[in-house]
Structure 1
Amino acid sequence: MLRPAIALFERIPQDLIALIARIAGGTVFLRSGLLKLDGWADGTTLALFREEYRLPFLPPEIAALAATSAELLLPPLLIAGLLTRFAALALLGMTLVIQLFVYPNAFDTHGVWAVCLLFLMKYGAGGVSLDHIAAKLAR
């Protein structure tokens, strides 16, 4: 009785899962980066790193610049499927820092991000990606 449903589930294309993981994961970080960029002008980004995030190993000015830069540079790579595994690795590192040092009670959210990023690290960007096109051209 369950076999037809399971067989149907098994037919979900991995390329579709990878595409959704890239878009969903990338969008979360890109939106955050755009908000941080917007907050540079009025000082809210620096205030956020000084007063709320308080990373124990980086001065707020460096942490704010690094996080903003990463959130603006890595998500477009992820969404386009270019250097996907490495962009996912860097964003997973960022997720771990956020989970461990900034919002340790938000594992439900960070866990979802981590699953998307781990999937992309293991399986790659999928067939609808610049990585796939580059691999074809390299042959």
Structure 2
Amino acid sequence: MNATSLPPSNAPLGDRLAAFGRRAAWHDALALIDRVAIAAIFWQSGRTKVDGWFHINDSAYELFRTEYRLPLLPPELAAQMAATAEHVLPLLLVLGLFTRLPALGLLGMTLVIQLFVYPSAWPTHLSWAGLLLYLLVHGGGRWSADGWLQRRRSRPAGSGLRGVDHHERH
């Protein structure tokens, strides 16, 4: 039995489910769902910090001055960094472009939020970390820009020519 085929219907249910779970399409679907789900959370948070296209609003600065109070970073810089990261990293995740990098960045943000901002919200942060760790370990899947780029790089030289018969090229 290979990863793309299922065992016979008389095989134990556990064997059939395990084989089904190894199929590549499951990873691709799960990675896409994870990318969109976690990106939406951070994107929505980022949108509360800006007015218009991308003007960081006064309430974002005030939030970092009075409620978040991160150590080592001035509130103005922290607000700008957070608003930028909450826009750029989710966009990269949705596209599946350099998937592991934005996943790592958002995992770092999650850790900072957990440790310094809302330590009692650990169940929420743990669920975010689970989504981000999956992407960090497994990548964005075939249904991502990363997957498309990988397929393009692994294509044999000359196979991308359109309208040319391969025999006529030589």
Q: Aligned pair 1:40/2:61, yes or no? A: no
**Residue in 2 aligned with 1:101?**
116
Letter of the aligned partner of 1:31 in structure 2? Q
CA RMSD of aligned residues (A): 1.6
Instruction: Choose between structure 1 and 2 for higher RCO, CA contacts under 8 A separated by at least 6 residues.
Output: 1
Q: Deviations over 1:82-121 (max 9, x none)?
A: 0000110011001000000000111100000000000001
Q: Deviations over 1:24-64 (max 9, x none)?
A: 011100111111113834x1111100010000110000000
Letter of the aligned partner of 2:97 in structure 1? L
**Residue in 2 aligned with 1:115?**
130
Q: Aligned pair 1:25/2:25, yes or no? A: no
* Cα distance between partner residues in 2 of 1:28 and 1:9: 31
Alignment of 1:1-139 (within 5 A): 3-4=12-13, 7-8=16-17, 11-12=20-21, 13-38=26-51, 40-41=56-57, 43-139=58-154
SS at match of 1:52: helix
Contact 2:104/2:136 (<8 A) preserved: yes
* Cα distance between partner residues in 2 of 1:27 and 1:124: 18
SS at match of 2:119: coil
Deviates more, 1:30-39 or 1:91-100: 30-39
| Identical pairs, percent | 48
* Cα distance between partner residues in 2 of 1:109 and 1:125: 22
Task: Kindly name which structure, 1 or 2, has the bigger radius of gyration based on alpha carbons.
Answer: 2
* Cα distance between partner residues in 1 of 2:104 and 2:19: 27
**Residue in 1 aligned with 2:159?**
none
Q: Which runs of 5+ in 1 are unaligned?
A: none
TM-score, normalised to structure 2, is 0.75
Deviates more, 1:79-88 or 1:30-39: 30-39
Number of aligned pairs?
136
